[in-house]
Structure 1
Amino acid sequence: MAWHEPNNGSNGRNNDPWGTKNRGGRSQGPPDLDEVFNKLTKKFSGRFSSKKGSKGSSSGGKNIWSFSIIIVISIIIWFFSGFYTIGEAERGVVLRLGKYNRIVGPGLNWRPRFIDEYKAVNVQSIRSLRASGLMLTKDENVVTVGMDIQYRVSEPYKYLYQVTNADDSLRQATDSALRAVIGDSLMDNILTSGRQQIRQNTQRTLNQIVDNYDMGLIIVDVNFQSARPPEQVKDAFDDAIAAREDEERFEREAEAYRNDILPKATGRAERLKKEALGYSERVTNEALGQVAQFEKLLPEYILAPKITRNRLYLDTMEEVYSNTFKVLIDSESTGNLLYLPIDKLLREESSKIENRQKNKSSSAYDEIELESQERNELPSSQSGSTNSRHGRY
């Protein structure tokens, strides 16, 4: 490869950037690196020298001094650029030459720049992701399910470097766990009473996956957002759910009615049983008493049958007449029935007794008034004896 002579231009100056030229005016190629470095040092150090020596007359000691100043300034800038701050809710993962070194806490920290690198991770905030989609159930139905996962970072290093993308890995694990749980459940349970069980199974399965992959995450909570059938069959499922709810409501009403009627019927049955037992005991005791009575009368009847019959007849009639106020007497001579209104006779007798008592009380009251009038008419000399006698009365 040939080297061409640079174009000097019309002013005749040498435009060679390397400043090298042979005796014949031809270029000899690029200069040595040491020569280039010396020229750059001279140009840079000339700015810090005095005006008298600015045209290439600087000494070697001044060049070393200027170079030292540059190095010191660079070191100061490098040192202060190594300070960094970690937030209160964050933890810093420090890498030294690309390899994990340590975890730093909140506050002001320092690292050797270009040697250590750090990444701050929030370990206190609660993060959320949602998994949803059409899923196949155990009874070969299709259902749309939505699940919300809440989690936080527990180990920053594992969160950053254990897996390629922890958030995306958790999303895939959630979708896998949810599909596994839904595929092992019946559609009726998913839509109605089994939602809590599905949530617990999903959280347990997801925790196992996260522990196996060692993502550095903690599952805080799993919320079952929604579960609905496809739109094409949604009306039919709504009717089925309404019918199931009506069935449960009717069952609860029947149970309430049973709980209300059964104790009453049981109490009524117990009362009837006790009344029947009491009646049975009473009738039995009465029969036994009558038997005992007849057993006592039997010897007397054997000794005097006529007297015993008359006595029984009189006792019976006494018991009968004591409970009635109407008496009919059969007259054997005339053949007529004589009616005795005993109730009227008793009422008239009782009214006469009451009138007699009223008359007696009114006469006593009149006598007391007459005595009081006589006492007022007596002179004052006799009033004392009258008053004392009335007081004794």
Structure 2
Amino acid sequence: MWQQYKYTALPPTLEGPASQPIKPDASNHWSVWCCHILFTCLSFGILLITLPISIWWFLKIVPDYERVVVFRLGRVRPPKGPGLVLLLPLIDQFQRIDLRTRAFSIQPCKIKSRDDVLVSIGADVQFRVCDPILSVLSVQNLNFVIQNTAENLLAQSLGRKYFREICGDRMRIGEHFKEDINEQVKPWGVCVERVDLLMEAVQRSHEEHVTVPFNPLVGNPSGGIEQMIMQFVSMAKQVSATDTKPSISSPGLMSL
């Protein structure tokens, strides 16, 4: 019989040291703080010495629809604006963030619904930046990432819907689609305000796209009876024309 072995914990002498949280070094913190103060004072001195020429370079005018995110010695500071914003030479880097509503269009693409119907549908999406710091720190190319995310979510959300739901509840599907996008882009400091779905064409499944030989009696169900009557009328005219045509007899028979 096989013996059953039970694994027990290792003895304390063989166990590795318990992980402990790393405490920040107080001396390192004070040295960084002192360097920060020193470089800030030097930057202020350079700004004062080079007045008034430095005003043209380091005094920025920020309109109401923009905010300025400042990085001082690599550390982000609260967004500034609107109005006049003073930057320090050599230690400040800044980036302007537009808070106005922007829009992009998702090109119509073929999406298969839950009941295997190909729908060519696109969307118009309007969004704006609601947190300037997150929009700068989260992604590099904000417009490209949001558009790519919206295209993927559109295919996923419509792929779970039936065709009758897509046609009948387009407004409700657009609202759900907007909520799904907001959940994805909220960590990037972006808010989606409006989504408009645009349906261009509808195509059936692959089984219904099989090419069938064209038959005029079957190709148009609504006009099949009329086409049949027209065919009968044309055939009757041909028969009557052949019956009424005079027969040509030979001259020898006529002389007899």
TM-score bracket, normalised by the shorter chain, equals 0.5 to 0.7
Counterpart amino acid of residue 224 in structure 1: L
Mark the runs of 5 or more structure 1 residues left unpaired by the alignment: 1-70, 235-242, 244-393
Q: Is the 8 A contact 1:79 1:113 kept in 2?
A: no
Q: Does 1:207 align with 2:182?
A: yes
Structure with the greater alpha carbon radius of gyration: 1
Match 2:113 to one of 129, 137, 146: 137
Tell me the equivalent position of 1:185: 161
Q: 1:97–1:230: structure 2 CA closer, same or farther, 3 Å change rule?
A: farther
Once the two structures are TM-superposed, the CA of residue 78 in structure 1 deviates from its matched residue by 3.7
Counterpart amino acid of residue 210 in structure 1: V
Match 1:75 to one of 38, 45, 50: 50
Q: Is the 8 A contact 1:128 1:151 kept in 2?
A: yes
Once the two structures are TM-superposed, the CA of residue 74 in structure 1 deviates from its matched residue by 6.3
Q: 1:101–1:73: structure 2 CA closer, same or farther, 3 Å change rule?
A: closer
Q: How does 1:217-256 map to 2 (within 5 A)?
A: 217-230=190-203
What SS class does the counterpart of residue 102 from structure 1 fall into?
Answer: coil
- The percent of aligned pairs where both chains have the same amino acid is 22
Q: 1:227–1:198: structure 2 CA closer, same or farther, 3 Å change rule?
A: farther
Large movers: runs of 4+ above 6 Å? 71-74, 231-234
Tell me the equivalent position of 2:96: 120
Give distance in 1, aligned partners of 2:137 and 2:172: 34
What SS class does the counterpart of residue 81 from structure 1 fall into?
Answer: helix
Counterpart amino acid of residue 199 in structure 2: S
Tell which deviates more after alignment, 71-80 or 220-229: 71-80
Q: How does 1:84-99 map to 2 (within 5 A)?
A: 84-99=60-75
Once the two structures are TM-superposed, the CA of residue 97 in structure 1 deviates from its matched residue by 2.5
Q: 1:154–1:163: structure 2 CA closer, same or farther, 3 Å change rule?
A: same
Deviations 1:39-73 (A, max 9, x none): xxxxxxxxxxxxxxxxxxxxxxxxxxxxxxxx999
Q: Does 1:165 align with 2:138?
A: no
Once the two structures are TM-superposed, the CA of residue 135 in structure 1 deviates from its matched residue by 1.2
Q: Is the 8 A contact 1:95 1:117 kept in 2?
A: yes
Once the two structures are TM-superposed, the CA of residue 141 in structure 1 deviates from its matched residue by 2.2
Report how many residues are paired: 161
Q: How does 1:317-328 map to 2 (within 5 A)?
A: none
Counterpart amino acid of residue 223 in structure 1: D
Give distance in 2, aligned partners of 1:157 and 1:136: 39
Give distance in 1, aligned partners of 2:115 and 2:47: 77
The structure where strand makes up a greater share of residues is 2
